[in-house]
Structure 1
Amino acid sequence: MKTNKLLLIIILLLSIHSFAQPPMGEKKEQIKALKVGFITNELSLTPDEAVKFWPIYNAFDDKQFELRHQKMRAFKDRMDDDLDKMSDKEASALLAQMESNEDELYQIRKKFIASLKGILSPVKIIKLKKAEDDFNRKLLQQYRDKGLRR
């Protein structure tokens, strides 16, 4: 089992390293495929669990992506304006929008975890969070390393 995990990690790192600036959609799909493999391996999903888990996970991941990238982009655009010229009223409205967005992300994750409780054991649900964090950390490290070599 350790060998399988080590092999998967090596393949993951080599695959991420070998990205040669493909189109953004293609890169996103490559990363998603690597993430699926990584999570499946880390959770040791049975075929029955995988069939039930992945549609729920993909729906959650899509909702989370939409919130983070579309709604947060609007906030970022507002914050790119000269913040010193923003009135307290505008800043308060922006803070309220940001808080609402964070609350919505929290509610989506809470519903996601509740829906997983009938599919995965509590230990596997916790392992999922760890696997997501580990994958993101490794992906970020690969991009940082790649950027330093340029």
Structure 2
Amino acid sequence: MNKYIIVLCMLFTAFSFGQHKRDWEKIKSLKVAYITEKLALDSKEAQEFWPIYNEYEEKRHALSRKDHTQIKDKLKNSDALTEKEAKKMLSLKISIEEDEEELDKALLLEVSKVTSAKKALLLLKAEEDFKRDLIKQYRQNKGGR
């Protein structure tokens, strides 16, 4: 799940450049509808699921920003990086990866409590399918490969 979320975040970040906030909101709305349909959430499940998922996405996004600002931006000048700085950044990267993994685990456990274990697993598939469909649509709109 970790790799898929990272790719999805990167895709959303890349897609948002040159796009309007309205387009970003449209993608979010499409994702909500897509996941709700794929998980076949009833109204009670949806009421409990979406606050959990939205909080997860906010925390995931914060970790992604932290990774980007504290590690990836600094790697652009990797020639000037000392070994001490590299060790510190490596330690931070590992910590961020561990935080992401814990966040993923917590999401699955919480979702399984408010829906079912099966729907928690279906969430993984739904996220992957949404990402794949979004990439496919993006390429078609850009006349891509």
- Bin for the TM-score computed over the shorter chain: 0.7 to 0.9
Contact 2:63 2:100 (C-alpha < 8 Å) held by counterparts: yes
Match of 1:100 in 2: 95
Bigger Rg, structure 1 or 2: 1
Match of 1:55 in 2: 51
C-alpha separation in 1, matches of 2:48 and 2:100: 22
Deviation at 1:53, TM superposition (A): 0.7
- 1:75 is matched with which residue: 64, 71, 85? 71
Q: What TM-score results when the alignment is normalised by the length of structure 2?
A: 0.79
Alignment size in residue pairs: 129
1:84 partner amino acid: D
Q: Unpaired segments of 5 or more residues in structure 1?
A: 1-18
C-alpha separation in 2, matches of 1:140 and 1:65: 19
Deviation at 1:22, TM superposition (A): 7.7
Detail structure 1 runs of 4+ shifted over 4 Å in the superposition.
none
- 2:85 is matched with which residue: 90, 95, 103? 90
Contact 2:112 2:119 (C-alpha < 8 Å) held by counterparts: no
Deviation at 1:113, TM superposition (A): 1.6
Question: Closer, same or farther in 2 for the Cα pair 1:22/1:72, shift >3 Å?
Answer: closer
Q: What TM-score results when the alignment is normalised by the length of structure 1?
A: 0.76
- Give the RMSD, CA atoms, in angstroms: 2.1
